[in-house]
Amino acid sequence: MDYDGITASLRALCAGETDTVALMATVVCEIHNHHPFCDWTGFYRVAGPELLKIGPYQGGHGCLVIPFARGVCGAAARTGRVQNVPDVEAFADHIACSSSTKSELVLPVWNGKGVLLGVLDLDSDTPAAFTQADEDWLVPLLAELFRDAA
């Protein structure tokens, strides 16, 4: 996995951009097309109190609405913590948007003012697909790219 190459590409593509949806679409495209285990890659945007709605994504259809109280995405939004789930069947209250998904990595995304914009959801048909290295790469990168997002 070429973390440095994808980071450089995203920095160049997103330079000066503050529109949240434009940033999300670009981030999703780069990660989906370069991470070897991403079978579905997308954002769920905060769309109301305790409510996520699907945002830019690549892959098959996703769930349209996810409350903060449900699923892996809801847990990431509710707690503000990264959720790295090696086996979605073992996660209580997992929402199966696709029956082929085996593992999931969900990261909360804030702007520089501390406003939760949504969550980045990476789904894989491979068990235990996502690593600590993925988390260590994405957490600071998302903070940097979305710092000035409106």
Question: Distance of CA 44 to CAs 14, 27, 146, Å?
Answer: 19, 13, 14
What are the chain's domains?
3-145 (3.30.450.40)
Sheet-wide strand order for 65-67? 65-67, 51-58, 40-48, 116-124, 103-110, 83-85
Question: Distance of CA 22 to CAs 6, 25, 43, 74, 140, Å?
Answer: 17, 5, 12, 23, 19
Q: What is the pLDDT of residues 78-102, one digit of tens each?
A: 999 999 999 988 887 777 777 789 9
State the pLDDT at residue 138: 98
Instruction: Record the pTM.
Output: 0.95
Please report which helix (H) or strand (E) contains residue 103, including its range: strand 103-110
Q: What is the pLDDT of residues 101-122, one digit of tens each?
A: 999 999 999 999 999 999 999 9
